[in-house]
């Protein structure tokens, strides 16, 4: 995720350097935008070195020649469209006034008007300035417009006075950023664990028992969670699919390996989506070398694998648990029974006997059942779109529940 960090001309400008570092530690890509006056307090080079990218200080390139490069000429629009959030910290009374009145005489104020991303403003100024009705009116009008204001702290000010005006603590600003991103993307900073694909249960080094799961639904879910800003771990059985960019990919083979990996990552997960088609049974014995054809048994001794979903249900704590059921024919009553018996929050049921749904195909038709009994039919559509609808449900459930899914981005 990308944010623009606006830095304006006040003593607290140096604090933005530490803030930049903390934002980066939380895996946010940061584009720094400085007002010309901010450059009087901290050199742009400091932010360029820390962010590893050019700092935007000017609306118009000062190359000596009129720019014929359309990309750089409309940079404010490009930045405005690419960011997930605009944070201005510290924000001067002047910049706040410009935002409130819609003035756009430099890059930062133009960016504010051009972006539709959420905006967080952390003011810093002398306490008399902060208390001034003009500033308070501007703050009120920004608030009314949905801008998140991180109120300045009380204390000793650089001017020697005591009062409200100090830039809020980094922790408070980071929490406001996390909250705004979470509301925008639904899952910013939430740890999401997705399982996908089949498992493979070996009979000997060349023969195995498995199923026809392609992993496409699980991979689409992992991609959607990444897109919404989650920190995603994808635990996958063998598939031919490329690991999604931005997700941590854990490759497993058997049900036992999948179970171990899932339980290992469970403690940090806010959401677990179990889309893998885990083999129900495995050979009781695995031969260490290839069994000769003449010695192949007429029948195989099988044993049940662990029911990973059920064991997760027992120890999920506050984690939101989503299960999948691939059935020949949808029997909602039986599905609801499964949801309750396994202590799931959401069950996604698909009818694999239906054309264009289930394994091996790029589309799916599912019903989503919530623990409270609500059922939603998601008509046939691509697996990517189904993933989007499923995460709409998940995000809605997260937002309804308490602080249990507080993003990791939040400082403790
Ligand atoms: C030493 C010094 C410190 C300043 N500190 C602040 C401040 O904390 N908050 C503020 O709103 N303005 C402060 N100002 C005034 C701003 O720099 C001035 O209003 C400027 O026009 C802001 O421009 P900008 O909003 O484009 O960065 C300070 C000025 C000076 C000279």
| Domain assignments of the chain as residue spans, ordered by start | 2-185, 191-405
What is the mean predicted confidence (pLDDT) over 157-172?
89
pLDDT of residue 402: 45
Q: How confident is the model at residue 409 (pLDDT cuts 50, 70, 90)?
A: very low
What is the mean predicted confidence (pLDDT) over 399-410?
50
Q: Quick check: CB of 9 below 6 Å from ligand 1?
A: yes
pLDDT of residue 360: 67
What is the mean predicted confidence (pLDDT) over 152-174?
90
What whole-number percentage of the chain has pLDDT above 70? Answer: 91
Return the minimum-mean-pLDDT range out of 196-205, 249-258, 321-330, 373-382: 321-330
pLDDT of residue 407: 43
The CATH number of 2-185 is which of 3.40.50.300, 3.40.50.1950, 3.40.47.10, 3.40.50.720? 3.40.50.1950
Do the beta carbons of residue 261 and residue 250 sit within 8 Å?
A: yes
What is the mean predicted confidence (pLDDT) over 249-268?
97
Calpha distance 61→15 (Å, rounded): 27
Q: Do domains 2-185 and 191-405 have the same CATH topology?
A: yes
Q: How confident is the model at residue 257 (pLDDT cuts 50, 70, 90)?
A: very high
Output the CA 44–ligand 1 centroid distance in Å: 17
Q: Quick check: CB of 138 below 6 Å from ligand 1?
A: no
Helix (H, G, I), strand (E, B) or coil at 149: strand
Output the CA 303–ligand 1 centroid distance in Å: 73
Give me the CATH topology for the region 191-405: Rossmann fold (3.40.50)
Q: Is the pLDDT of residue 67 over 60?
A: no
Which of 8, 42, 92 most suits a substitution to test ligand 1, by most atoms within 8 Å of the C-beta? 92
Tokens of residue 109, six digits: 């104020």
What is the mean predicted confidence (pLDDT) over 133-157?
94
Tokens of residue 1, six digits: 């995720």
Q: Quick check: CB of 94 below 6 Å from ligand 1?
A: yes
Q: Is the pLDDT of residue 87 over 60?
A: yes
Within a 10 A sphere around the Cβ of 98, how many other Cβ atoms? 22
Output the CA 58–ligand 1 centroid distance in Å: 18
Given 45, 78, 159, 206, the catalytic residue: 159
Q: Decide if 10 is catalytic.
A: no
Which of 16, 41, 89, 94 most suits a substitution to test ligand 1, by most atoms within 8 Å of the C-beta? 94
- Mean pLDDT (the chain) is 89
At 336-380, the pLDDT tens digits run 889 999 999 999 998 777 766 666 677 888 899 999 889 999 988
Q: β-strand 85-91 against 2-7: which pairing, if any?
A: parallel
What is the mean predicted confidence (pLDDT) over 218-241?
92
Q: What is the DSSP letter of 56?
A: B
Q: How confident is the model at residue 404 (pLDDT cuts 50, 70, 90)?
A: very low
Q: Quick check: CB of 92 below 6 Å from ligand 1?
A: yes
Sheet holding 231-236, edge to edge: 248-251, 231-236, 191-196, 271-274, 320-327, 346-351, 363-370, 375-382
């Amino acid at each position: 995720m990308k944010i623009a960090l606006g830095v304006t001309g006040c003593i607290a400008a140096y604090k933005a350097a530490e803030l930049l570092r903390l934002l980066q530690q939380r895996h946010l890509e940061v584009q720094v935008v400085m007002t010309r006056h901010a450059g009087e307090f901290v050199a742009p080079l400091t932010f360029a070195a820390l962010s590893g990218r050019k700092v935007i200080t000017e609306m118009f390139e000062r190359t000596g020649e009129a720019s014929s490069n359309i990309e750089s000429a409309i940079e404010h629009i490009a930045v405005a469209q690419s960011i997930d959030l605009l944070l201005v910290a510290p924000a001067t009374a002047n910049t706040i006034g410009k935002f409130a009145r819609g003035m756009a005489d430099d890059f930062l104020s133009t960016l504010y008007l051009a972006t539709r991303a959420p905006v967080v403003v952390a003011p810093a100024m002398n306490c008399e300035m902060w208390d001034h009705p003009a500033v308070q009116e501007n703050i009120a009008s920004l608030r009314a417009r949905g801008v998140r204001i991180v109120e300045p702290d009380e204390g000793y000010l650089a001017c020697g006075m005591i009062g409200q005006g100090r830039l809020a603590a980094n922790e408070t600003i980071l929490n406001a950023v996390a909250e705004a991103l979470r509301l925008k993307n639904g899952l910013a900073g939430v740890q999401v664990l997705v399982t996908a694909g089949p498992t493979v249960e070996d009979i000997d080094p060349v023969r195995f028992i498995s199923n026809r799961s392609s992993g496409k639904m699980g991979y689409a879910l992992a991609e959607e969670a990444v897109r919404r800003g989650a920190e995603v771990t994808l635990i996958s059985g063998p598939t031919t699919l490329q690991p999604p960019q931005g997700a941590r990919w854990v490759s497993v083979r058997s049900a036992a390996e999948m179970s171990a990996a899932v339980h290992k990552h469970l403690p940090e997960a806010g959401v677990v989506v179990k889309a893998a088609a885990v083999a129900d049974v495995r050979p009781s014995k695995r031969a260490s070398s290839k069994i000769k054809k003449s010695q192949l048994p007429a029948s195989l001794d099988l044993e049940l694998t662990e029911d990973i979903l059920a064991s997760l249900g027992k120890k999920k704590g506050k984690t939101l648990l989503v299960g999948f059921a691939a059935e020949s024919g949808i029997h909602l009553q039986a599905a609801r029974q499964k949801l309750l018996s396994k202590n799931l929050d959401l069950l996604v049921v698909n009818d694999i006997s239906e054309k264009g749904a289930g394994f091996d195909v790029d589309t799916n038709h599912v019903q989503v059942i919530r623990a409270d009994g609500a059922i939603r039919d998601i008509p046939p559509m691509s697996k990517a779109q189904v993933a989007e609808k499923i995460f709409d449900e998940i995000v809605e459930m997260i937002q309804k529940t308490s602080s249990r899914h507080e993003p990791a981005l939040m400082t403790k």
